Amino acid sequence: MNPVVLFGLLFFAMPDQIEYPQTKKGDVVDTYHGVKVPDPYRWLEQPNTEPDVAAWIAAQNAVSFGFLDKIEGRDRLYNELRRRLNFERFSVPTLMGGKVFYTRNDGLQNQDVLYVADSVDAPGRVLLDPNTFSEDGTVALSGLGLSEDGKTLVYGKSSAGSDWTTFYTMDVATGDEKSAPVPWTKFSEPQVDREGKGFYYLRWPKPTESDQFVSANKSPEIRYHAFGVDPDEDRLVYSLPDKPDWFIGPYMDGTRTTLWIIIHEPGSINNTVSYIDLTQPDAKAQPLFSVADADYTPIYREGDSVWVMTTKDAPTGKIVKVSLKEPSAEDWKTVVPAGKDTIQAASVVHHRLLVTRMHDVKTAADVFTVEGERLTEIEMPGPGTASGFSGQPDDKVTFFSYTDLKTPATIYKYDVAEGKAEVYRKPDVPIDTDRYETKQVFVTGKDGARVPMFLVHRKGIKLDGTNPTLLYGYGGFNVSLQPWFSSARTVWMDMGGVWAMANIRGGGEYGKEWHEAAIKTNRQRAYDDFIACAEWLISEKYTKPARLAVQGGSNGGLLVGAVMTQRPELFGVAVPEVGVMDMLRFNQFTIGKAWESDYGSPENEEEFKALLRISPYHNLKPGVRYPATLVTTADTDDRVVPAHSFKFAARLQEVQAKDGPPVLIRIETSAGHGGGKPTTKVLEEVRDVFAFILHEMGIKIPASF
């Protein structure tokens, strides 16, 4: 018997002669604060190894790929995406022990390859090639740590896009293993100690095989693994056994004299900090900042002084010098005061303080003495995004990457002593990017907020309201969307497309106030900002609703789900990717409890009401004509479990108007939330997203590019 029929999935006809699985419904009803809320597709929360869920996935993929396979020109589109990605790409190098470590991709390799060179100007050799980890490229590097002398590498492997990571240890000179693999870690990099004898890491209780991709992550522990010791004997360094839902994260600054412990309580956007003084034998954890009233990030220690980046009484951030012996705020010395621009990051290189900030979402960078005297501004190549600037206090040079909407990531070497930057590695892309133009505009939001939005398209485009336009957004967790180059985006633009990115509230583009303006009971502000950007694109004649697509991933997938359910007439196509779609149960899975900091908790009555109002799954209504929708997820996503997308797609297929456009769900196999996804799978997914959007807009894929 057909397994789809066996597990209760019938088929019914929809527009374009698509036959959709009619997913079986249950009778689950939950009660929140006296409100009864049906959840008919609860059964789709079961692991994908359950036969009925596996059959549902197979049935949905059969429908989706059957539809996508028939789009004329889809193969041509894939070939062009491959051609334009086929150029050499490098990461920002790391200097350690006189050696240079970096990743390189020759163009179409599934995974970036790790190289090491004996000096800044010396040729590199392959140190670790993740493409040999698996035949299909689904095992990826996940986390790197280096000893101070550059002789020992700790690296992580993750499979099928999962957050779960196993750490391995390699002798850089010989390639030999130096220790047994350390399993069941996630959400932290290995912190190799100053002596190069072991590393600190975050370990979680081992889940059962069936629950490893769905069960809530609780009770993390910071442990120390000494090279050569059985991982089961790893020393417990820090834990909060009476607070299983709290998150802790270990890291060390460039001096490696201190293990900093960042502590987050569920529901709070702030953190506290404890530390272990590694210069003292058998030192125990001590509190540094014990009240979660701001963000606190230690960046450098010298003696009993520590430099801290904080938002305490400074929504855009400041850097202060704090005494470990007298850490109270009244004893702080302000090193870099708060200003209009948001401080993003800081590091100490060549005993100078390098500070990056955002000016209207574009990177700026300054050099200070460690006591706060401003020495110079690091000139940026353009109005775009720069990252890097890491290093050790004694290093003389550092590296950074620069990119913008039409400039691929270029690596620069910066001489801190001389204050000079020079191109270190520049990619040779197979297209002329001068044919594109970019701009930043500011849209007036529903409540008068000034919302930035970036645009990029071919030069000379006509503003006649017919351009296929793709609007992208995120708007959450203090994450800032800054301009970056995408070779795939050039294909979209050469098919006549406009690409827009909205910097809505909930992100960190303008500091803590911008973030906090759209959290918990105020989440709707993020969606209002996004809708305002969509309306601006229409009013300014870039496009019209039928030619406007919206796309976002993870929290951005929630964004797409929210706006398409609130304003279905405003969009022609919606692409919610790995989205958080059930806002009443997000905190029941993997790391979801931590998201209460932005979303609030269903256990709180006022926050529940706000969550119910925005929850995409719960706000789908029968008979409404929703946009053509391509939901994307992956079967082993253990960040935002695929059940969110499964339930949303099932409900949307159920309620879509009879004359409504297609509703598909594309479920990737052996892939997770996006991290470490092989190049082949990335290209295939981009191909299908672009092909679906164009098809639903009535635009043919060109015969040639």
Query: How far is it, in rounded angstroms, from Cα 366 to Cα 416?
Result: 11
Ordered strands of the 407-415 beta sheet:
385-388, 397-404, 407-415, 420-425
Which residue in 60, 168, 138 sits closest to 674, CA to CA?
Answer: 138
* Spatial contact of 598 and 587, defined as CB atoms under 8 Å apart: no
Residues whose CB is less than 8 angstroms from the CB of residue 135 and which lie 6 or more positions away in sequence, other chains included: none
Per-residue tokens: 272 = 């506290």
Alpha-carbon dihedral of residues 386, 388, 393, 394, nearest 10 degrees? -100
Q: Return the structure tokens found at 509.
A: 């583009």
Catalytic residue (one of 554, 597, 615, 645): 554
Element (H, E) at 221: strand 221-226
Question: Catalytic: 554?
Answer: yes
User: Which pair of structure tokens corresponds to residue 167?
Assistant: 């750490």
Give the burial class of 336: count Cβ atoms within 10 A of its Cβ; 0-12 exposed, 13-18 middle, 19 or more buried.
buried
Q: Give the pair of three-digit tokens for residue 539.
A: 């009013």
- In sequence order, what are the beta bridge partners of 401? 387, 411
Instruction: Determine how many CB atoms are found less than 10 A away from the CB of residue 420.
Output: 12
CB-count exposure of residue 49 (10 Å: 0-12, 13-18, 19+): exposed
- Distance from C-alpha of 435 to C-alpha of 422, rounded to nearest angstrom: 26
* The length of the chain, given as a count of residues: 705
CA distance 186 to 174: 27
Question: Using H for helix, E for strand and C for coil, what is the string for 68-80?
Answer: HCCCCCHHHHHHH
Cα–Cα distance measured from residue 230 to residue 52, given in angstroms and rounded to the nearest whole number: 40
Task: Let me know: does 123 contact 142? Beta carbons within 8 Å.
Answer: no
Q: Which two tokens stand for residue 446?
A: 């529903």
For 372: left if phi > 0, alpha if psi spans -120 to 50, otherwise beta; the answer is left
> At residue 524, what is the residue type?
Q
- Provide the annotated active-site residues: 554, 673
